[in-house]
Amino acid sequence: MPQIHIRPAIAEDIPVLMQIPHHSQTPIVWQMEKFEEEGEETVIFRQVRLPRPARLDYPRPSTYLEKGWTEFTTMAVAQLNGDLVGYIGIRENKGTGVVWVSDLVVAESFRRQGIGSALVLSIQAWAVQLNLRMMTLEMQAKNYPMIRLAIKLGYKWSGFLDHYYPNLDIGLFFSRSLR
């Protein structure tokens, strides 16, 4: 298999990255149920297999990357045979020592080839070098492939926010200690 090259993003990468289709499909979603009784709230997430794969649209507008890429603490791209095939964007909270992965995109024809894992692991290594204490991955509750990737890499479910994304999807968070 060709070598995946991970490097920091530069301004010239952004138009190319914006051309990568950001949608995917999923046969499984995490469904949330919330129960309230006096003095108690219970939230349950369960995996639900859909009758057919559902389209999973990217939770942010397409202009987000063009305007917001400089707001990342760092952004890395994956190159395969010289072509950009994915990217990861993170924000570092210096006060808490937490690095937050908000964006991870791999071109559809290159998924399930280790590129997403390579991007996450490269940022994880970067965070360890900076002596950060924790890394959190955020994703839509519908993004089952990303949920599986997080679990595969040793991340544990750490919370959620209802109506988190601009499209009102639930945000799920998986975290891992870096120390």
pLDDT at 70: 86
Return d(Cα 158, Cα 38) in angstroms, integer. Answer: 25
- For 105-135, the pLDDT digits (tens) are 999 999 999 999 999 999 999 999 999 999 9
What is the residue extent of each domain of the chain? 4-21+59-177
For the chain, list residues with pLDDT below 50: none
Q: Report the topology of domain 4-21+59-177.
A: Aminopeptidase (3.40.630)
pLDDT at 137: 98
pLDDT at 2: 62
pTM of the predicted protein model = 0.91
